[in-house]
């Protein structure tokens, strides 16, 4: 089950950083849905490496080839499979890591899991590169959602001690759609400061993390189910599949833990004849079920563990401590590139919930 | 799927706050495991209401009757079912809520989900009362884990602006096991201040939330899988099933987002011939897989939405705003009672991962 | 997963033949559906023992108590749980079987599965008694299906070398609804001969099997999915959960294997403006998906393995062969009592497919 | 879920008959297992078309390219993906079928399922061509099973009124391994008669079905679980995913329905100190769990619905009956080519059960 998630829609992600290809299969998409490949490519380009001074210089086109599931560009009900060839791999950079696990990476734990047979080149199956096929799946789902009035948009809400503008959590107007190469923040000033913080860390051969905030607008009330099948359960289960995510919170999230009920409860009101809440501290989800307000959540992205500074590690074959210097190409900050991945994952889950909801 | 979770072990929780009974079925437990019902009862008593000035005065014995799955007190491989009768229900208190949803509660969203047919008495299926059967399932799993050297223990790490002592995240010595009625904190002084904060909120007919931190010690390396089947994914998916949980983070969590890689990475070291990490900012999970260090996570619990103060709401039948005053019996703070529930949910997930791991 | 099946609707069956109670939880039923408990009881009575000279004399009322999931008699969206107390248990009859497995029973295999900890009394969790809670779940689903124009009805198509009348597989008129105590065949003459065959076997302390045929009428076209999620896959997966079922076939089934394509293909025709097939050798399922014709399938029920004649077995503790004589109360033929169980299982699966289909 | 099955091992099959490629992803294989690609190719060649006078003349190399999941030829724990390009497609042959469904095919039902958007070329996703990726997955599983002493082998047990030799169901010696191009029967004489029956049907532009019998030897006792997670449930659920399968039976199967308990029960005996059954009418499965005897099952394969004779159908766009003549390349009998597919599916399920069993 490691690399498959979902029920009504099942997304199977496969490939390793340096395997012949990576790809994704999406089973359960509705038939008759057009896939706009240009729009999809624009979305994928937001994640693609090699475009900015804060991203790995590894150049990959990330141009998916659709192998199945389409007739023309229309979904036909059969599983949709897209493949991206790996072309720009330099596996020799990773030889040293087979025996000396990188701090903060999965090398050691996954080595224990797979008895040393795991693919170490470029991070293998746990490489951030595998978020490319996730974005293919999510990009297709976003197009289907958009036709139903639902938009999923994210921004960097904080990075390097700099906070972005707080959006209006009650507005059904979506956040801006960022373009490839654009720094995904609401406030250009905040973006410049964040950018500077990244370059500063880069100059010290270090890295920085950040918090990504995502809003989904246009989501109808009544999706999800109480208890273990709630919208929060399912979004969280999928979001923790994004490498480096270490926390997920909805609405007020951890801040709610410090408030009183009278501060945190959202009063119900009538606006234009519609039932709304006066604020949206609940993040659009109450009792596990959508309330009709925008869904709001944040994910914590830890700083890229691959840094250029020497680090302490252990040589597994000798059980002796050893200084490790990581070579290879790495991002001093992956947060901007994770923004579309968060949107992609949320779109997959929300489309699934929407389709399930139509059957309730 | 609303109320079932798990794969290798499946836990099905059923019942409503005021239905004849509530209960749980656990399918997939190993055969041949003893259930110490006295120890289990002591665990359940930690969650039970009616014991402290910060909990609802509703008195329920929460004494489970095992209907199946045991021969003597030994698991026999068949599904284990336990039932708890609901005896102390006062449904008339909830009549007003059928048409006027409580702010911060699931009433409105769940009403949309179930087209108005949901059980509203006492919160129905989404009541905190349903955490009692979760604790039965988790309490049994904790006993099985303990025989395998794994302890799952939680404490309140912050409440009402008061922080508890930070535990040693690297120690394999478990946190203390709290007794029923004991305030679950490491620092008695912090506990007194938290208690005072609860009573202060209660005096204003208000409520407070808090953060619960949980450590699992003795967990072997190599459990879980990368990507969508990681330990974080599965713990989070289950933990968001606990009512009022709005955030989940692992290790440094959201704080990691503000650090640099050199600050957040945990160096590998050799201690007593064993590979360890020098710190445990990763919370015992790297690449979705256990590292052998204690698992550390925190959940944010929002303040109980049921408060005595008048609140703004809407009468659904007329679509008009209306002031709502909630009657019934409620906790000014559920956080202390949620502590064993967090342990229970974590125990279920960890036992499942352990059993899966034996088959890897 | 042993005792849970389904996805959109999840049915969890629990209990052992001699545990305090048996029961079932059904998660995912639509809210707002009335449960007619009298009609349900009439259905359960068809399966209940102690009514005929071909059934075990064990008397059980099989009167379910609904513990959750209903408000009044209307489903509320929460899991529906029903309990049946075990009252008439004579466990001492089974002491001999702990060490000497019964031929044709699961004793030996299940003992290996659960390392000897399985409940042996009355067959434990694998007893035919566990079909009572299945019938509770299925009986509720049948009522929901009936409101949507779908009827699921079965009869004994052959037993003891006697064949029942072959129904019109193309007719959307349901088979007759049998009453409790009635021998479930279309031809009374065939029924008398079958009954005689059972009594003849009983007189020799032997047992007989039979074939049950089930038709579902009113099923719309387009339910199910190709390949692994087809109607046949899902019906078969559930039907083999009925004890003693050793074969499942759809439409012409095994007979189709001996035909030519020109004999087995069903031509499409237009009748009253509707597309139909001229015959129904395909059993209402083509490519895994319903065609709109009645669903037709048969299950092979092996003869009850519990017979009064001495049989060869092995004493496990000594690894020596030993003659076994089974005591206890047994059916010389369970086939008539399995007929409503087949209907129940089919109803659960078809309701699930129908609800999924509404979301396609 | 349409095209994904399994739990511990998940197999996702994708592609259409005339899409750019077909393929399979297998998630959950143990790490460290060698894949012998030559042996795998030999297995795939048994299914490949274009080799015999009874198979479609369409020539496809069916040579899988492994895109992920291997390091060298060793599984690395990441999902294994294999792709087969579709090269020899003649889609124009299928234009007529878009509006006029073929009798016995899924065209009409699947059209209703996917609202007319399904891929009709070559049968789309429901084409027998999709059994090639199933064989890739199964062939890999067979190699892993063989290292653990388990062999899965099938033969044609009857075809065109001709029966093959009945194997010794108690023997742990596997059936012969057939080579590509070899007619898969135990008795060469029976094989010649079957072959003649196929050619006779072909000469009349007709087709024939058959029954395939499969034995799995070396399977340990105690795999599977009672009720809904039994070996029969899971094998059947997967086997009905093979196109044209209309029946599945275990051990004596439907014949058991006509026997008495004294005839059908298998006595337990001790042979060479081991517990065995004297006969194997139960097909190696009792109570849903393996008994340690060879697993024996049969599947009914209906005659290929694509025949050259004119057939009655309906033009959907006008709702008028119309004679249909099917062009394209078809097998007068697919049964010989389905034999390795049955082995493949059984191998996948048995490996999954074995891996689960190691964790019991």
Partnered with residue D216 across adjacent β-strands are D152, D295
Q: Tell me the percentage of chain A whose pLDDT exceeds 70.
A: 94
The predicted-structure confidence for A234-291, as pLDDT tens digits, reads as follows: 999 999 999 999 999 999 999 999 999 999 999 999 999 999 999 999 999 999 999 9
Q: Spell out which residues of chain C touch residue D319, defining contact as CB-CB under 8 Å.
A: 270, 273, 275
Cα A339 from Cα A210, distance rounded (Å): 10
**Burial class, A271, CB count within 10 angstroms (exposed 0-12 / middle 13-18 / buried 19+):** exposed
Chain C's closest residue to A78, CA to CA, is C226
CB contact under 8 A, A125 and D76: yes
> What does the mean pLDDT of chain B come to?
93
**What integer pLDDT is reported at residue C91 of this predicted model?**
59
Look at A178-192, B88-102, B272-286, C48-62 and tell me which has the smallest mean pLDDT: C48-62
Chain D's closest residue to A20, CA to CA, is D67
Interface chains of chain D (3 or more CB pairs under 8 Å)? A, B, C
Alpha-carbon distances of D333 from D53, D142, D194, D207, rounded to whole Å: 10, 25, 10, 6
The predicted-structure confidence for A194-242, as pLDDT tens digits, reads as follows: 999 999 999 999 999 999 999 999 999 999 999 999 999 999 999 999 9
The residue among A22, A11, A66, C290 whose CA lies nearest residue D119 is: A66
The predicted-structure confidence for B199-239, as pLDDT tens digits, reads as follows: 999 999 999 999 999 999 999 999 999 999 999 999 999 99
Gap from A228 CA to chain D (nearest CA, Å): 19
- A7 pLDDT tier (thresholds 50, 70, 90): confident
CB contact under 8 A, C32 and B115: yes
pLDDT at residue B51 is higher than 90: no
Chain D's closest residue to A80, CA to CA, is D14
Chain D's closest residue to B360, CA to CA, is D30
Cα B280 from Cα B218, distance rounded (Å): 14
Q: Spell out which residues of chain B touch residue A252, defining contact as CB-CB under 8 Å.
A: 246, 302
Position of tokens 């789902």? Answer: A141
The predicted-structure confidence for B315-343, as pLDDT tens digits, reads as follows: 999 999 999 998 766 789 999 999 999 99
Q: Spell out which residues of chain A touch residue D81, defining contact as CB-CB under 8 Å.
A: 14-15, 21, 23
CB contact under 8 A, B289 and A109: yes
CB contact under 8 A, C106 and D240: no
What ipTM describes this predicted complex?
0.96
- A83 pLDDT tier (thresholds 50, 70, 90): very high
The predicted-structure confidence for A299-332, as pLDDT tens digits, reads as follows: 999 999 999 999 999 999 999 999 999 876 678 9
Tokens, residue B13:
């929780």
Gap from B147 CA to chain A (nearest CA, Å): 22
Q: Which of B16, B69, B74 lies closest to C68 in CB terms?
A: B16
The region that residue A139 occupies, defined by phi over 0 for left and psi between -120 and 50 for alpha, beta otherwise, is: alpha
H or E stretch including D82?
strand D80-85
Q: Spell out which residues of chain D touch residue A118, defining contact as CB-CB under 8 Å.
A: 31, 76-78
What mean pLDDT is predicted for residues B57-66?
Answer: 78
> Is C306 in contact with C105 (CB distance < 8 Å)?
yes
**What integer pLDDT is reported at residue C283 of this predicted model?**
98
**What integer pLDDT is reported at residue A360 of this predicted model?**
46
Tokens, residue A74:
């229309």
What mean pLDDT is predicted for residues A163-176?
Answer: 97
Q: D74-75 and D21-27: which strand pairing?
A: unpaired
> Is D141 in contact with D340 (CB distance < 8 Å)?
no
Cα A68 from Cα A203, distance rounded (Å): 45
Continuous H helices in chain D: 37-47, 107-113, 131-147, 188-203, 231-239, 261-264, 335-357
**How many Cα atoms within 13 Å fall on the side-chain side of residue B197?**
24
Chain C's closest residue to A356, CA to CA, is C359
Interface chains of chain B (3 or more CB pairs under 8 Å)? A, C, D
Gap from C229 CA to chain A (nearest CA, Å): 11
Q: Tens of pLDDT along chain D (360 residues)?
A: 578 888 899 999 999 999 999 999 999 999 999 999 999 999 999 998 756 777 666 566 789 999 999 999 999 999 999 999 998 666 566 667 779 999 999 999 999 999 999 999 888 998 999 999 999 999 999 999 999 999 999 999 999 999 999 999 999 999 999 999 899 999 999 999 999 999 999 999 999 999 999 999 999 999 999 999 999 999 999 999 999 999 999 999 999 999 999 999 999 999 999 999 999 999 999 999 999 999 999 999 999 999 999 999 999 999 999 999 987 667 899 999 999 999 999 999 999 999 998 754
Secondary structure string (H, E, C) spanning chain C: CCCEECCCCEEEEEECCCCCEEEEEEECCCCCCECCHHHHHHHHHHHCCCCCCCCCCCCCCCCCEEEECEECCEECCCCEEEEEECCCCCHHHHHHHHCCCCCCCCHHHHHHHCCCCCCCHHHHHHCHHHHHHHHHHHHHHHHHHHHCCCEEEEEEEEECCEECCCCCCCCCCCCCCCCCCCCCCCCHHHHHHHHHHHHHHHHCCCCECEEEEEEEECCCCCCCCCHHHCHHHHHHHHHCCCCCEEEEEECCHHHHHHCEHHHHCCCEEEECCEEEECCCCCCCEECCEECCCCEEEEEEECCCCCCCCCEEEEECCCCEEEEECCCCCCCCCCHHHHHHHHHHHHHHHHHHHHHHHCCC
**What integer pLDDT is reported at residue C95 of this predicted model?**
66
What mean pLDDT is predicted for residues B102-120?
Answer: 94
Q: Which of B16, B31, B114 lies closest to C115 in CB terms?
A: B31
Cα D157 from Cα D162, distance rounded (Å): 8
Gap from B42 CA to chain A (nearest CA, Å): 25
Q: Mean pLDDT for each 10-residue chunk of chain C (360 residues)?
A: 84 95 96 97 88 65 93 96 86 73 95 93 90 97 98 97 97 95 96 96 96 98 95 98 97 97 97 96 97 98 95 95 84 95 98 82
Cβ contacts below 8 Å, chain C against chain D, sum to 386
Q: Which of D103, D260, D301 lies closest to C268 in CB terms?
A: D103
CB contact under 8 A, C256 and D246: yes
Q: Spell out which residues of chain B touch residue C31, defining contact as CB-CB under 8 Å.
A: 114-115, 117-118
Tokens, residue D55:
């198979």
**What integer pLDDT is reported at residue A99 of this predicted model?**
92
**What integer pLDDT is reported at residue B217 of this predicted model?**
98
Q: Spell out which residues of chain D touch residue B355, defining contact as CB-CB under 8 Å.
A: 359
Q: Spell out which residues of chain B touch residue D1, defining contact as CB-CB under 8 Å.
A: none
Cα C201 from Cα C53, distance rounded (Å): 12
Cα D148 from Cα A314, distance rounded (Å): 35
pLDDT at residue B89 is higher than 70: no
Gap from C360 CA to chain A (nearest CA, Å): 7
Query: D50-83 burial by CB neighbour count: b if 16+ within 10 A, else e?
Result: ebbebbbebebebebebbbbbbeeebbbbbbbbb
Gap from D176 CA to chain C (nearest CA, Å): 23
Cα D124 from Cα D106, distance rounded (Å): 10
- B96 pLDDT tier (thresholds 50, 70, 90): confident
Cα A116 from Cα A107, distance rounded (Å): 9
Tokens, residue B310:
């008048």
Strand ranges (E), B37-192: 65-68, 70-71, 74-75, 80-85, 151-159, 162-163
Gap from C146 CA to chain A (nearest CA, Å): 18
**How many Cα atoms within 13 Å fall on the side-chain side of residue A328?**
27
Chain A's closest residue to B353, CA to CA, is A113
Write the DSSP assignment of A31-83 as a string of letters: TT-B--HHHHHHHHHHH-SSSSTTS--------PEEEESEETTEE-SSPEEEE
**What integer pLDDT is reported at residue C52 of this predicted model?**
72
Chain A's closest residue to B1, CA to CA, is A229
Cα D292 from Cα D288, distance rounded (Å): 12
Cβ contacts below 8 Å, chain A against chain C, sum to 17
Q: How many CB atoms lie within 10 A of CB D359?
A: 15
The overall longest dimension of chain D from CA atoms, in Å, is 71
Q: Which of A7, A30, A78 lies closest to C7 in CB terms?
A: A7
The overall longest dimension of chain B from CA atoms, in Å, is 71
Cα B243 from Cα A227, distance rounded (Å): 7
Gap from B115 CA to chain C (nearest CA, Å): 7
Q: Spell out which residues of chain D touch residue B356, defining contact as CB-CB under 8 Å.
A: 359
**How long a stretch of residues is chain A?**
360
- Helix orientation angle between C231-239 and C335-357, rounded to the nearest 10 degrees: 140
> Is D159 in contact with D213 (CB distance < 8 Å)?
no
Rounded-to-10 torsion of CA B213, B218, B221, B227: -30
């Amino acid at each position: 089950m490691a690399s498959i998630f979902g029920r009504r829609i099942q997304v199977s992600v496969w490939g390793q950083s340096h395997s012949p290809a990576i790809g994704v299969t999406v089973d359960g998409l509705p038939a008759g849905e057009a896939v706009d490949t240009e729009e999809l490519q624009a979305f994928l380009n937001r994640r693609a490496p090699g475009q900015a001074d804060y991203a790995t210089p590894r150049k990959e086109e990330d141009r998916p080839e659709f192998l199945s599931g389409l007739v023309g560009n229309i979904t036909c009900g059969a599983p949709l499979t897209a493949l991206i060839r790996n072309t720009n791999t330099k596996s020799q950079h990773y030889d040293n890591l087979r025996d000396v696990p990188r701090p903060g990476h999965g090398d050691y734990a996954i080595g224990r899991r797979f008895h040393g047979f795991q693919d170490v080149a470029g991070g293998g199956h746990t490489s951030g590169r595998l978020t490319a096929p996730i974005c293919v799946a999510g990009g297709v789902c976003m197009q289907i959602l958009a036709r139903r009035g639902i938009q999923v948009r994210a921004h960097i809400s904080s990075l390097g001690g700099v906070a972005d503008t707080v959006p209006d959590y009650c507005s059904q107007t979506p956040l801006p759609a960022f373009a490839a190469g654009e720094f995904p923040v609401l406030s250009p000033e905040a973006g410049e400061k964040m950018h500077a913080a990244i370059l500063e860390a880069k100059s010290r051969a270090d890295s920085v993390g950040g918090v990504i905030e995502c809003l989904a607008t246009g989501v109808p009330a009544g999706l999800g189910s109480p208890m273990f099948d709630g919208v929060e359960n399912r979004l969280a289960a999928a979001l923790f599949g994004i490498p480096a995510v270490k926390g997920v919170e909805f609405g007020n999230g951890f801040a709610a833990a410090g408030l009183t009920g009278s501060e945190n409860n959202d009063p119900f009101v009538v606006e234009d004849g519609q039932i709304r809440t006066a604020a949206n501290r609940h993040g659009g989800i109450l009792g596990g079920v959508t309330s009709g307000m925008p869904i709001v959540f944040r994910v914590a992205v830890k700083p890229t563990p691959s840094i250029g500074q020497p680090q302490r590690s252990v040589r597994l074959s000798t059980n002796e401590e050893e200084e490790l210097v990581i070579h290879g190409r790495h991002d001093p900050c992956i947060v901007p590139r994770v923004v579309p991945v968060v949107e992609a994952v949320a779109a997959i889950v929300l489309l699934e919930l929407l389709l399930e909801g139509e059957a309730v």
